[in-house]
Amino acid sequence: MIEKFTDTESGKIYYWISEKWQENRQSLFFLHGMTGDHTMFISQYEYFKDKYNILLWDAPAHGKSRPFKEFDYEKAAISIKTIFDTEDIDNAVFIGQSMGGFITQAVIKRYPKIVSAFVSIDSTPYGNKYYSKSDIFWLKQIEWMAHLYPLKSMKRAIAKQNTATKAGYDNMLSMLIPYKKNELCHLMGIGYAAFIKDNCDLNITCPVLLIVGAKDNTGKVKAYNQLWSEKTGFTLILVEGAAHNSNVDQPNMVNEYIEKFISLE
């Protein structure tokens, strides 16, 4: 992979693209979840690198794309459009895990033509009809609640909550290493607060696949996805032996689901 970055007023955003980019190949853009980075998709990169053009990034305020001022989903979407314009990418299949699914929907909201298809991995939908007043209230409490935990305990709890395998746990813990307590708590707080601000009723017209770990007990992710599938007709797949980071817990199964979905489009 070739490492690159784009400069913004809020900070540098790093991304990685295939060394041998081929114009006649379909492109896959992998977007990691909150407090993660591009390394959560190493297994996907190894599986797909010889068949597709691959684009990975560290989202604003995450991984190498730090420091970054005032993260929000509009800035994330604009940054992606800038990257696509810079690299002369017309469109890609967006594969977004958790927050990466939020960012994908933020892009669809503003630049729908660059998203040829959407694979949501343990994410949740844009749409006011999905979230109760209670849901919104608790999302707003994340930052101060996170401050109640000692840093090491919080990182271990996040890693344990999001994964069902040792490989998943180790990967999540490694992605959390760079964060100090204030930064980590604030990142989680603004990540959800920014989602509340950007959320809207969204009509997604591109093909969509919903993937959720059967052991995903993060919030109400499974319930949201079941309702998302019922309201839209999007196919929902539950991945056995996987929690919230299902593409890391069970990479082989998830890779096969993604490849089958792409081949049908």
Q: 204: number of CA atoms within 13 Å, CB side?
A: 30
Q: For the chain, how long is the longest CA-to-CA vector?
A: 51
Q: Which of 13, 67, 20 is nearest to 38 (CA)?
A: 13
Tokens of 109: 């909201």
pLDDT tens, residue order, the chain (265 aa): 999 999 999 999 999 999 989 988 999 999 999 999 999 999 999 999 999 999 999 999 999 999 998 899 999 999 999 999 999 999 999 999 999 999 999 999 999 999 999 999 999 999 999 998 888 887 888 888 888 889 999 999 999 999 999 999 999 999 999 999 999 988 888 888 889 899 999 999 999 999 999 999 988 999 999 999 999 999 999 999 999 999 999 999 999 999 999 987 6
Short-list 97, 72, 70, 87, CA closest to 17: 87
pTM: 0.95
Residue 55 CB burial class (10 angstroms; 0-12, 13-18, ≥19)? buried
Cβ-contact 190, 68 below 8 angstroms: no
Residue 96 tokens read as 């977004």
Helices and strands in the chain: count of H runs, count of E runs? 11, 8
Helix (H, G, I), strand (E, B) or coil at 208: strand
CA gap 88, 196 in Å, rounded: 32
Q: Which residues pair with residue 87 across a beta bridge? A: none
Using only C-alpha atoms, the chain has a radius of gyration, in whole angstroms, of 17
Our CA dihedral for 224, 230, 233, 234, rounded to 10 degrees, sits at: 20
- Tokens at residue 75, please? 């800035």
Alpha-carbon gap, residue 254 to 236, rounded angstroms: 12
